[in-house]
Amino acid sequence: MSRSYYRTRIKFCGMTRAGDVRLAGELGVDAVGFIFARESKRRVAPAEARAMRQAIAPMVDVVALFRDNTREEVREVLRTVRPTLLQFHGDEDEGFCRSFNMPYLKAIAMGGREEATARTLQLRYPSAAGFLFDSHAPGGGGGTGVAFDWTRIPTGLHRPFLLAGGLTPENVYDAALATLPWGVDVSSGIESEPGIKDGYLMRTFVEEVRRADCAVLD
């Protein structure tokens, strides 16, 4: 099967500099993410994210990432940053996630022993626009730079899913072919240090994803 007409979406997360945001748009990235989780090394204030938003290219989604933030903290980001998509990485339930009347992704921690099933996830978060499978353990944060066993991704999902956790320019080609995700999400894999993106790694990551999109599968 040729994947010539298949395009894997790309999200760069943990943005902290306007220049990195601008380059992401020039490289054709589909979304950039700002992190508002309190414990994250890449956390930015709403006012900082609003300033960086000016560097976002047209037709690039703005994703706001939260992990067990309060309802008011989320609302402040909505007012200040005007994201187009929300992403929840904590213990937020369906009622909390949908209460903001915006499309959202629910991150699923794949670093624990519990096996997620498509049925369980879709029953637990029926209004989710999609799921993001990350390598952190339940209760932990993303951006660990460690991959998980991709064969554990549940089959039978009726929603788009993004692959995250330990992705780099060196492994994203294999990851895309192995899992056929709707999208890939990278943070530490394109950094020189937390929050500081490396232009060469950003470009190479995009090139490797596009190479996978054009691969021919047996």
Per-residue pLDDT of the chain (218 residues; tens, 9 = 90+): 445 567 999 999 999 999 999 999 999 999 999 999 999 999 999 999 999 999 999 999 999 999 999 999 999 999 999 999 999 999 999 999 999 999 999 999 987 666 778 899 999 999 999 999 998 655 455 555 678 889 999 999 999 999 999 999 999 999 999 999 999 999 999 999 999 999 999 999 999 999 999 987 76
Contact 167, 185 (CB under 8 A): yes
- Domain 9-213: state its class: alpha beta
Residues taking part in catalysis = 13, 134
In the chain, DSSP finds a helix count (H) and a strand count (E) of 7, 10
d(CA 12, CA 21): 9
Summarize the chain as % helix, strand, coil (round to 5): 30, 20, 50
